[in-house]
Amino acid sequence: ILLLLLAVIAVPWMLFPKPLILRRQHTE
């Protein structure tokens, strides 16, 4: 159960910064 909760938290954590990094590269 603990690993499942970690996966649920980790997946968005990994996915959310990617669009932000891509946006920064486009603006610069």
Give tens-digit pLDDT for 1-28. 899 999 899 888 888 877 777 777 777 6
Q: Give the single-character DSSP code of 1.
A: -
pLDDT for the residue 5: 92
pLDDT for the residue 4: 93
Burial 1-18 (b: 16+ CB within 10 A, else e): eeeeeeeeeeeeeeeeee
pLDDT for the residue 3: 92
Tokens of 28: 């610069």
Instruction: Report the predicted TM-score, pTM, of the whole model to 2 decimal places.
Output: 0.41
